[in-house]
Amino acid sequence: MPDAPNHNNGIEECLSEEQVEELMVRTSRKQVRSDYRRSLGSEASRRYCDINNKKN
């Protein structure tokens, strides 16, 4: 019995250099979008806090 389960059942998928590059580009774009949405949320929260602090 192996130590870890073999999820690919012995079939190894080899990506071409072009496929690896495309995967990296897609992953990078997703990360940039995620970071951008996070920064927008932080900016909106900061502005909300600034507005509420000015009222007090």
pLDDT at 54: 78
pTM of the complete model beyond 0.85: no
> Average pLDDT of each block of 10 consecutive residues along the chain (56 residues)?
56 84 96 92 87 77
> CA-CA distance, 16 to 24, in Å (whole number)?
12
